[in-house]
Amino acid sequence: MTSELPLRERKKVATRAALSHAAWSSMLSDGLDSVSPESVAAAVGVSSRTFRNYFAGVEEAIVDELAQRYLTLADQVGDRPPGEPVWESLMQVLPAALPAIMGDRDDFAVLLQAVNDRPTMLAQNLIMFERGRQRLTEVIAARTGANPARDLTPRLYAGAATTALATSAELWARRATDLPLPDLIRTCLRRLSEGIGP
Amino acid sequence: MTSELPLRERKKVATRAALSHAAWSSMLSDGLDSVSPESVAAAVGVSSRTFRNYFAGVEEAIVDELAQRYLTLADQVGDRPPGEPVWESLMQVLPAALPAIMGDRDDFAVLLQAVNDRPTMLAQNLIMFERGRQRLTEVIAARTGANPARDLTPRLYAGAATTALATSAELWARRATDLPLPDLIRTCLRRLSEGIGP
DNA sequence: GGAAAGTTTTCAATATTGGAAATATTTTCG
DNA sequence: CGAAAATATTTCCAATATTGAAAACTTTCC
């Protein structure tokens, strides 16, 4: 039980995590403007070309850790007991997993601010969200036996869940409500599941 | 009735439209790789610096016309009779407006392919979508008297509508269904409005 | 007509992107 | 273990994209 991954793979993971973490904390302490590929690479002790081998830019590096966690959401849905209705799985997984994914509220608010200020940051964030949504669509299709390329249902489920997630995250970060995060997303999910129409 | 806009404004609009159109048709005929700010500017007969005064890159130029049309969707919802329930407005506006927005199906499929292949294109497309969603949120909040910064409802409506739109667009472009586009989005909207849950 | 305001162009400085070869590290296998 | 193969990293560099500033040009308004 020494290791699950070969050393080389572990090093790659470590390098990526170190770069992402350095970019993230540099943004928190000094602001996004003072984060550059060079500074991040220097902080970690690799060449700036290596930084580019991992990330297209600092925005991608900053968002990476969050993106990784977000992708695990879909996998957690996939790990629910077989036969459980999709919406029940979402109701179980999302409220429980969200606090860990979002981390500290003030830090997340800083990120959200950066995202809203910078188009490149917005793009990065949206791409990460979209990838998570696609993965969730595939997982749901696999669980229901639907064809992910043709059927509406998995896409509508995944779209609704993503909407609930994004809405909860934003209101929570802005402190627009006193509800704890799990309750907030439960509320969003419930309203979508019961039908948003008249 | 000579003109609604001053000459200068009309020229700007014309230049922007010409650049966007040149970028778009160049992508259709020669592929995205052969589209550059220089080639587009040359095709229109302006300097490449002028291209950059209008667009940050070719991706933005390509998507621009579609983005403009997409933004009008929210305005069309805002123009519905006061007092009409939000979901009814969406059901009226989206199916009717979508064919004009999406244009030719084969052309749209090419765009979708480019979007899926290229991260920068994906980013551009997602940004445009997100802007539309935000505008729709604001319009809905204005119509219902909700506070767009704090209330869940407008965001959930707009998110659901956007999900329906994106889902319809993708399946339609992929020819995954024989349903006409208006019927497709009506189906998506209906299923979301009736509740997606168990 | 001519001043004011706005747009486009030219040009230069800077940043970003991505390739290729040299170097270092890890893994595989005899 | 030790050599060979596979993979990562680094250095160097050229092509391209982006940005800023000021000059040249066009439109607007009086």
Q: Concatenate the DSSP letters of all residues of B146-192 into one string.
A: --TTT-HHHHHHHHHHHHHHHHHHHHHHTT---S-HHHHHHHHHHHH
List the structure tokens of B41. Answer: 């500017």
Out of B87, B122, B124, closest to residue A196 by CB: B87
A5 pLDDT exceeds 70? no
Q: Identify the segments of chain B with pLDDT beneath 50.
A: 1-3
Torsion of Cα atoms, A147 then A127 then B59 then B5, to 10°: 100
- Check: CB of residue B174 under 8 Å from CB of residue A149: yes
- Write down the pTM of the prediction: 0.90
Please state the separation of Cα A24 from the chain's center in Å: 14
Out of A149, A162, A198, closest to residue B85 by CB: A198
Amino acid at B28: L
List the structure tokens of A25. Answer: 């904390």
* pLDDT at res. B1: 47
* Average of per-residue pLDDT across A23-41: 87
* Average of per-residue pLDDT across A117-121: 85
**Count of CB pairs separated by less than 8 Å, A with B:** 120
* pLDDT at res. A33: 81
| Alpha-carbon gap, residue A50 to A64, rounded angstroms | 16
* pLDDT at res. B118: 85
CA angle B166, B172, B173 (to 5 degrees): 90
Q: B123 CA, C23 C1': separation in Å?
A: 36
Residue A7, CA: closest nucleotide via C1'?
C26
Q: How far is CA B119 from CA A25, B125, B167, in A?
A: 25, 10, 20
| Alpha-carbon gap, residue B196 to A191, rounded angstroms | 10
User: Is the CB of residue B150 inside 7 Å of nucleic acid strand D?
Assistant: no
Question: Which residue is closest to B147 within chain A, CA to CA?
Answer: A176
A149-154 long-range contacts (CB < 8 A, ≥24 apart) are A149/B174, A149/B176, A150/B171, A150/B176, A150/B177, A152/B167, A152/B171, A152/B187, A152/B188, A152/B191
Interface of B with A in 147-176 (CB under 8 A): 149-150, 152, 155-157, 159-160, 162-164, 166-167, 170-171, 174, 176
pLDDT band with cut points at 50, 70 and 90 for residue A2? very low
* pLDDT at res. A100: 92
- Check: CB of residue B100 under 8 Å from CB of residue B59: no
Reference A111, options A188, A35, A187, A16; nearest CA is A35
Taking the Cβ of residue B178 and every Cβ of chain A, the question of whether any pair is shorter than 8 Å is answered with no
Q: How far is CA A138 from CA A36, A64, B93, B177, in A?
A: 35, 21, 30, 19
pLDDT band with cut points at 50, 70 and 90 for residue A198? low
List the structure tokens of B23. Answer: 């970028």
* pLDDT at res. A197: 57
pLDDT band with cut points at 50, 70 and 90 for residue A114? confident
Note whether B130 contacts A126, CB cutoff 8 Å: yes
